[in-house]
Amino acid sequence: MTRLFSFVLAATLLMITGVQAQFQFFEQMFNGQQQHHQAPQNVPSDSNWYQSQFENAHCDNYLCPDTLACVSFPHHCPCPHPAFEEKIEFGDSKSICVSKGGFKAGEAARKVELARKGLI
Domain assignment of residue 54, yes or no: no
Structural domain contains residue 26:
yes
Residue 79 is assigned to a structural domain of this protein: yes
pLDDT tens per residue across span 59-86: 999 999 999 999 999 989 999 999 999 9
**Residue 40 is assigned to a structural domain of this protein:** no
Domain residues for 11? 1-31
Strands 70-71 and 62-63: antiparallel
Average pLDDT, the chain: 77
Please state the domain count of the chain: 2
- Look at residue 39 and tell me if it is in a domain: no
Helices (runs of H) and strands (runs of E) counted in the chain = 3, 4
**Residue 49 belongs to some domain of the structure:** no
Residues 22 and 71 both lie in one domain: no
pLDDT digits (tens, 9 = 90+) for 18-72: 545 455 555 665 565 555 566 667 777 788 888 999 999 999 999 999 999 999 9
Q: CA–CA separation, 75 vs 89, rounded Å?
A: 7
Report the distance separating Cα 41 and Cα 34, nearest Å.
12
3 state SS of 87: strand
Residues 80-107 have pLDDT tens digits of 999 999 998 887 888 899 988 767 778 8
Own/partner long-range contacts of 65-72 (Cβ < 8 Å, ≥24 apart): 66/97
66 and 107 part of one domain: yes
Q: Give the alpha-carbon dihedral of 85, 91, 94, 97, to 10 degrees.
A: -10
Residues 64 and 109 in one domain: yes
Alpha carbon distance 70, 77 (integer Å): 8
Residue 45 lies in a domain: no
